[in-house]
Amino acid sequence: ISICRDLPNIEVITFSVNGISDLEPLNQCQNLSELYLRKNNIASLNELFYLKNLPRLRVLWLSENPCCGSDPHRYRMTVLRNLPSLQKLDNQAVTEEELSQALVDGEEITAPPARRSVENGCPESTESSAAESTTETESELLNFSLEETNKIREELGMKPVPRDKFSSFSPRETDCNRKKRNNVLNAILLLMKELDAEGLEIIQQTVGRRLQAFRKKELQEE
């Protein structure tokens, strides 16, 4: 997620199921309008402090993080009190009535969370985090990742990725390796939006050469 510090003009970010715990790198993304963070390690709603000054944020998906707690009403009210410009939270439309109620039932967040020693990424500790305690099948993970990746590709005017291509990740890969690969893929797609026509042509040529090399290698192995 630290890559976001270098992307102040990014508009859509999807980092679901990636072990993220700190939202500080997002506080400079002034053009951010959609943020997908489902199933991460976000422990405290105080992380919303870093999103409060993002004027264009309209869609947030934060469900299934430890910060959601056991009281869904309090959670939703607190998010809406601090981010009243949201139009959709956790794939559910925000109503005017909810925004009014949030002023009563929600908690105002005025300071960032205390710093933690564990960095974002794959946890080194052998203890399971709250976000990891929920077992999710590989199929569910791939379906969700495919949906969000194709949403980014649509924003970029690109064709969606077919499921048979996207699900080609080896099931023998560790969760950590899969998350890293998804991170790289999403980062590349997001960065492409910053390129002009000349930059995109360079990317196209480079990808073409890489694909030819991979195909040649596959033929040799056969």
Identify whether 78 is part of a domain: yes
pLDDT score, position 146: 64
Identify whether 61 is part of a domain: yes
User: Does residue 100 sit in the same domain as residue 189?
Assistant: no
Final residue belonging to a domain, choices 78, 105, 132: 105
Identify whether 124 is part of a domain: no
User: Does residue 13 sit in the same domain as residue 97?
Assistant: yes
The stretches in the chain having pLDDT less than 70 are: 115-149, 151-159, 161-183, 190, 222
pLDDT score, position 169: 40
CA gap 69, 67 in Å, rounded:
5
CA gap 15, 85 in Å, rounded:
21
Identify whether 111 is part of a domain: no
Q: Are 14 and 148 in contact (CB under 8 A)?
A: yes
CA gap 69, 73 in Å, rounded:
10
Identify whether 148 is part of a domain: no
Identify whether 10 is part of a domain: yes
| Secondary structure, 3-state, the chain | CHHHHHCCCCCEEECCCCCCCCCHHHCCCCCCCEEECCCCCCCCHHHHHHCCCCCCCCEEECCCCHHHCCCHHHHHHHHHHHCCCCCEECCEECCHHHHHHHHHHCCCCCCCCCCCCCCCCCCCCCCCCCCCCCCCCHHHHHHHHHHHHHHHHHHCCCCCCCHHHHCCCCCCCCHHHHHHHHHHHHHHHHHHCCCCHHHHHHHHHHHHHHHHHHHHHHHHHC
User: Does residue 10 sit in the same domain as residue 101?
Assistant: yes
pLDDT score, position 4: 83
Instruction: State the amino acid at position 210 in one-letter form.
Output: R
Count Cβ atoms within 10 A of the Cβ of residue 109 and give its class: 0-12 exposed, 13-18 middle, 19 or more buried. Answer: buried
Final residue belonging to a domain, choices 105, 138, 162: 105
> Could you tell me the residue range of the domain that residue 26 belongs to?
2-105
* Encoded tokens for 36: 């997908």
Number of domains in the chain: 2
Angle CA 130–132–136, to nearest 5: 130
- What confidence tens digit (pLDDT) does each residue in 122-142 have? 444 433 443 444 444 445 555
Q: Are 103 and 81 in contact (CB under 8 A)?
A: yes
- What confidence tens digit (pLDDT) does each residue in 94-133 have? 999 999 999 999 999 999 887 654 444 444 443 344 344 4
Identify whether 158 is part of a domain: no
Identify whether 66 is part of a domain: yes
Report the CATH number that the domain containing residue 17 is assigned in CATH: 3.80.10.10
Final residue belonging to a domain, choices 105, 133, 149: 105
Nearest to 67 by CA among 88, 46, 36: 46
